[in-house]
Amino acid sequence: MTTAVDAATVAGTRKRSFLQRNPVLRRLIRHKAFVVGAGLFLIISLVAILADFIAPSDPSRMAVRFRFRPPSAEHWFGTDNLGRSQLSRIVYGARLSLAIGLAVVIMNAVFGVALGAASGYFKRLDNILMRVTDALMAFPPVLLALGIAAALGPSSLTAAIALAAVYIPRTARIVRASVLVVRELEFVQAAMAMGAGNLRILRKHVLPNCMAPLIVQLTFVFAFAVVTEATLSFLGLGSPPPTPTWGNMIAEGRQYIRDAAWITLIPGLALAVTVLSLNLLGDGLRDVLDPRLKISQD
Amino acid sequence: MGRYIVARLIQSIPVLILVSVISFGIMKLVPGDPAILIGGPTATPAELDVIRANLGLDQPFHVQIWKFYIGLVQGDLGTSLLLGKPVLQATIERIPVSLSIAFYSMVLTLFFGIACGVVAALNRNSWADQGAMVFALLGVSIPNFWLGLMFIILFSVHLGWLPTGGYVPWQESFGGWFATATMPAVSLALLQIGLLARITRSTMLEVLKQDYIRTARAKGLPEFVVIGKHAFKNVMIPVITVIGIIFSVLLSGSLVIESVFSVPGVGSLLGSAVLRRDYPMIQGGLLLVAWSLLMLNILVDVLYAYFDPRVRYDHGS
Amino acid sequence: MASTPPLLSVRGLRIEFGTDQGPATAVDDLSFDLRAGEVLGIVGESGSGKSVTALSIMGLLPTPPGRVVAGEILFEDSDLLKKSRTDMRKIRGGAISMIFQEPMTSLNPVFTIGDQLTEAVRWHERVGMAAARGRAIEMLHKVGISSPERRLEDYPHQLSGGMRQRVMIAMALSCGPKLLLADEPTTALDVTIQAQILDLLRQLQEEFRMAVIIITHNLGVVAEFADRVLVMYAGRTVEHASVEGVFDRPSHPYTEGLLSSIPDIEADVLRLTAIPGTLPNPHELPPGCRFQPRCTYARDECAAGPPPLVPVAQSHLAACIRHTGYRRGAAAPPAMAGVR
């Protein structure tokens, strides 16, 4: 018995000392906004992952008898115009929202880093790439996403591609800025002089140095992606119904706004809470990882 | 100053051209035959041929892009499939509507954003400061189209104060304009106010630490002159740079907000163009909006030069 | 001469700064008098409390974290510390004005020189724009700026550092102050410009017959300009005497150290390096004499209690235990030759 207790205590102290030894983690845990954001986001992610177990019913099962039921003990979030459970639709909507957000973030990380690094390294490429990002950034984000999504046709995949295309130039600029700083550092100059390959320098020096702003940027990209995806599907350019997305739920609820406001209200709240959690997360990460950045660009 | 403006205009030419290439290119992303998408499944081969001919799709790519630029130089952006009108004309007709709302919400944003930021900075860590920060956070988290719908539920459905949508030009009736434009303008502005307040606050805190503020106080100037004159003009320099961004976000938002409130502006025009696959309209709309924003950015730079003499003299002479 | 009442009288001034580790004393029991038209040099290292003293006279001490906890500052027989904010504002830039160390950042970059120059006159004397402009031109002329009319339209970034400091001086003098506080007015400037600005200040001091407190870490500046010198160390007065007294017979080891660290004209690089060590941390002040850890004469008795400021000659005060406790003959101050 005693040995088991000892083992637990030892494990406990080791855990604590790990936290103490890692100043970034310790400051993050002290950052209230970060903790709240991380907690909320964790819950939302769990809901999205476990949608099959949490949803009380199939999100597209219609029940005419139960149309327009306001939120109650039986139907937590009420039912919509077709008698579908709003709770189930919100839960599955979370899965889609987060999946698209994640896809956009991954595409941003891959292409943003690749383009940013290439731009920072090769002067000739830099000029062209930066003019192209200037041009892409001249479009309002939502309008550009709309245009691309309209050209590609409405679906979740095209929404994700459109959103990635909007934010990749912004991510690339951040990586490029880091590369430009890092390549002037003496030890990097030394590594280059000794003939270290570009890829090796990128991996060993540039990436670790731009990790902090990149992580912060990607958190905000996630938040933007979730809002903008909802906007696209609100306008009819996301996944078409009957697939439940928060955006198309709000769009459908609009017609019944006089008598069944909850159909519009609840998906919007879900959306706002998700985006809020990501923004809190991003603010916390920015404060701790990269105090120089005060306010992110749009 | 004049030379500075010309220099900025010349610098912007490559980006203007690239923007037009992108606008043209996006519409080439359409998978398959756009004519079938436009005509629908019931269209006869003859009808499809007419659509293709109208859009120039029957011609090789280099001819298409050549014609696009020839048209552009002549001010011809194609004809809207939906309205049967030239794209440029259809857009210009609706610009006053969108501009009146964008301007209204810009005024709201600037006034309340800067005021909240200054008050928050002067009363650091007070409830006003905390409130402004919470507001800013909510501002970037709440989607504006949903906020617009919530306004409709509250102010139109429950309180009955304002109409649910529509638009009355201010030339016809200012009261009518005010009643219809307020909810769209406020739902656009509310989210930007927090953001601007946050930027104003941090800038103000930075400026108040500067030596020239101490000098102004040492001169025995009243505090309202120290803040309102010496600090304010310096605070405005970074704030002006974000005005361009804010306007772009407002414009972007008006796209959706106009649909929510059934306002017949450029936003709802593009919204319906997107849904009905009116490709010339989308292409022209993208181009026009991006170009106007670029021009706006130049205007912002000029304003910047007005507020910061250092910029003016570096580039001007 | 001693019969004229002082223009400014600082008595028992004590200033604290709130910090994370509790209050730190920046100025401790500071007292001095200044007669009209007299020039006092306050000398010490940065952090010795000299700038804080000037700011508290101006009522510009950043509060919080700074706070005057004891003492009074009598200006023309009334306590500045008890004045209302409005009254204090009327004095600032009027009867008392100040020039600062950094001419590069002390002028507002977004307003013209003319705008910033006319401002004080217009607020203090309620005169019109034309009159204020006339005064500004006159003042620019007095500080030796050529074609002042044209300069009024310039922005600070168009002027050199020396020019900006001249503008700052013109600004400070534009309402005819009785007392000018000059906080390291030449430190940020090139050596050749330093001499010009100092000459200008001395000439204007005579012309306007104003009292001046010149704050500096450079005894050379004091020698050229001041009538009397007050040497501060870690918030306390260590020596207070006429310029001749201090240079001929320095009576505190710290003053000796300062004198020995003035080499020749190109002094700037060496400055105070001749005294080994640094100022004590305000939270861990040594017991007794605060200079004792760096002092070559230090004895065990130095830690016993703060040495009192005692007269060592006619109007010559020093705070060293050697004047009260042990005095084993005047140790010859080294390196006096280069000073005059």
Of the candidates C96, C55, C56, the one whose C-alpha atom is nearest the C-alpha of residue C76 is: C96
In a 13 Å sphere around the CA of A40, the CA atoms on its Cβ side amount to 19
User: Does C19 score more than 90 pLDDT?
Assistant: no
CA dist list (Å): B108 to B154, B164, B232, B246, C259: 20, 21, 18, 12, 63
Q: Which of C98, C100, C110 sits opposite B234 (nearest CB)?
A: C110
pLDDT band for position C339 (50/70/90)? very low
pLDDT of amino acid A8: 45
Strand partners, C68: C15
Query: Dmax of chain A from CA atoms?
Result: 76
- Greater confidence (C313 vs C119) lies with C119
pLDDT at A18: 59
- Nearest by Cα to C305 from C294, C317, C290: C290
pLDDT digits (tens, 9 = 90+) for C280-304: 777 777 788 888 778 777 777 777 7
Q: What percent of chain A has pLDDT over 70?
A: 84
Is any Cβ of chain C less than 8 angstroms from the Cβ of B218?
yes
Interface B–C counts its CB contacts (< 8 A) at 78
Chains A and C touch (3+ CB pairs under 8 A): no
What percentage of chain C reaches a pLDDT higher than 70? 90
- Confidence category of residue A9, pLDDT binned at 50, 70, 90: very low
Confidence of residue A105 (pLDDT cuts 50, 70, 90): very high
**Is the pLDDT assigned to residue B246 strictly greater than 70?**
yes
Torsion, Cα C187 C191 C196 C197, to 10 degrees, reads: -10
* B149 touches A at CB < 8 Å: yes
Q: Tell me if A140 and B293 make a contact (CB, 8 A cut-off).
A: yes
pLDDT band at A10 (very low <50, low <70, confident <90, very high): very low
User: B76-132: per-residue pLDDT in tens?
Assistant: 777 777 777 888 888 888 888 888 888 899 999 999 989 888 888 888 777 877 887
- Residue C331 confidence (pLDDT) above 70: no
**Is the CB of A263 inside 8 Å of chain B's CB atoms?**
no
- Lowest-confidence segment of A282-296, B202-216, C197-211 by average pLDDT: A282-296
pLDDT at res. A248: 81
Main-chain dihedrals φ then ψ at residue C325, nearest 5 degrees: -85, -85
| Cα separation, C274 vs B108, whole angstroms | 62
Q: Does C114 touch chain B (CB under 8 A)?
A: no
Counting Cα atoms < 13 Å in the Cβ hemisphere of C28 gives 20
Distance CA A257, CA B150 (A): 9
Q: Do A and B count as touching (3 or more CB pairs closer than 8 A)?
A: yes
Selection from C95, C62, C94, C60 nearest residue C77 by Cα: C95
Q: If you average pLDDT over residues A209-235, what whole number do you get?
A: 86
Q: Does the distance separating the beta carbons of B225 and C123 come in below 8 Å?
A: yes
The per-residue pLDDT of chain B, averaged, comes to 82
For residue C35 the two structure tokens come to 């007669």
Of B211, B233, B308, the CB nearest to C106: B211
- Chain B residues touching A152 at Cβ < 8 A: 29-31
Burial of B271 (0-12, 13-18, 19+ CB in 10 A): buried
- The DSSP H or E segment spanning B257 is helix B232-260
- C253 shares contact with chain B (CB less than 8 Å): no
SS3 at position C112: coil
Let me know: does B4 contact B316? Beta carbons within 8 Å: yes
What's C239's DSSP letter?
E
Residue type, A100: I
High-pLDDT (> 90) share of chain C, %: 4
Cβ-defined contacts of B171-177 (< 8 Å, 24+): B177/B100
Inform me whether the C-beta atom of residue A233 falls under 8 Å from chain B C-beta atoms: no
Among residues B121, B152, B124, B140, the alpha carbon closest in space to that of B261 is found at: B152
Asked if residue B313 has pLDDT above 90, the reply is no
pLDDT at B317: 34
Assign A73 a pLDDT band (cuts: 50, 70, 90): low
B36 pLDDT more than 90: no
Nearest to C105 among B211, B217, B221 (CB): B211
Q: In whole angstroms, give the CA distance from residue B133 to residue B114.
A: 13
CA-CA-CA-CA torsion sign (A268, A274, A276, A279): negative
Residue A12 has pLDDT above 50, yes or no: no
Q: Which of B21-35, C106-120, C256-270 has the lowest mean pLDDT?
A: C256-270
Evaluate whether chains C and B are touching (3 or more beta carbon pairs less than 8 Å apart): yes
- For residue range C96-133, list pLDDT tens digits in order: 999 888 878 888 888 888 889 888 888 888 888 888 88
Which residue among B22, B146, B274 sits closest to A235, beta carbon to beta carbon?
B274
Q: How far apart are CA C308 and CA B199, in angstroms?
A: 53
The span from the first CA to the last CA of chain B, in angstroms, equals 8
Query: What is the C-alpha separation between A163 and A99, in angstroms, rounded?
Result: 13
For B32, the closest chain A residue by CA position comes to A152
Contact B280/B55 with Cβ under 8 angstroms? yes
Span A267-286, average pLDDT = 87
**Does residue A227 register a pLDDT over 80?**
yes
When mean pLDDT is compared across A200-214, B195-209, B246-260, C206-220, the lowest value belongs to A200-214
Which residue in C89, C110, C157 is closest to B220 by CB distance?
C89
Contact of C135 with chain B, judged by CB distance below 8 Å, is answered with no
Residue B72 pLDDT class (50, 70, 90 cuts):
confident
Sequence-distant (≥ 6) Cβ neighbours of residue A145 within 8 angstroms: A159, A162, A163, A165, A166, A228, A231, A232
User: Helix or strand or coil: residue C220?
Assistant: helix
Mean pLDDT value of segment C146-167:
86
Partner B contacted by A297 (CB < 8 A):
yes
Residue B215 near residue C108, CB atoms below 8 Å: yes
C123 touches chain B (CB under 8 A): yes
Q: Is A130 on the interface with B (CB under 8 A)?
A: no
Rounded Cα gap, residues A135 and B23, in angstroms: 10
Mean pLDDT, chain C, integer: 81
**What is the edge-to-edge ordering of all strands in the sheet holding C310-313?**
C96-99, C179-183, C211-216, C39-43, C228-233, C236-242, C316-318, C310-313
> Which residue would you say has higher pLDDT here, B29 or A37?
A37
Q: How far apart are CA B156 and CA B164, in angstroms?
A: 6
Say how far apart CA B201 and CA A294 lie, in whole Å: 11
What tens digit of pLDDT does each residue of B181-197 get?
Answer: 888 998 888 888 888 88
Edge-first strand listing for the sheet containing C78-79: C22-34, C8-19, C66-75, C78-79
Per-residue pLDDT band at A96 (split at 50, 70, 90): confident
Q: Is the CB of B307 inside 8 Å of chain C's CB atoms? A: yes
Q: B36 — contact with chain A (CB < 8 Å)?
A: no
Average pLDDT over residues A187-201: 76
What's the average model confidence in pLDDT over A167-175? 89
Confidence at A20, pLDDT banded by 50, 70, 90 = low
Residue A59: pLDDT over 80: no
Mean pLDDT across A176-180: 83
Amino acid, single-letter form, for residue A120: G
d(CA C102, CA C105): 6
Q: Show residues of chain A in contact with B15, CB under 8 Å.
A: 131, 134-135, 138
> Which residue type occupies B215?
T
- Region B58-85: mean pLDDT is 78
- What the block records as the tokens of C209 is 């017959």
Are the C-beta atoms of residues C327 and C300 closer than 8 Å to each other?
A: no
Residue C272 pLDDT exceeds 50: no
B216 contact C CB<8A: yes
Interface of C with B in 144-163 (CB under 8 A): 155, 157-158
Instruction: Give me the phi and psi of C31, to 5 degrees please.
Output: -135, 135
Q: State the nearest Cα–Cα gap between B246 and chain C, in angstroms.
A: 24
Tell me the C-alpha distance between B304 and B236, whole Å: 9
What tokens does C105 get?
Answer: 């950042």
Q: At what angle do helices B174-208 and B144-151 cross, to 10 degrees?
A: 130
Q: Where are the beta strands (DSSP E) in chain C?
A: 8-19, 22-34, 39-43, 66-75, 78-79, 96-99, 179-183, 211-216, 228-233, 236-242, 310-313, 316-318
Helix, strand, coil tally for chain C in percent (to 5): 35, 25, 40
For residue A106, the model assigns a pLDDT of: 93
A148 closest CB neighbour out of B26, B251, B271: B26
**So what's the pLDDT on residue B108?**
92
A138/B19 Cβ within 8 A: yes
* Mutation for B interface: C83, C102, C106, C124, most B CBs within 10 A: C106
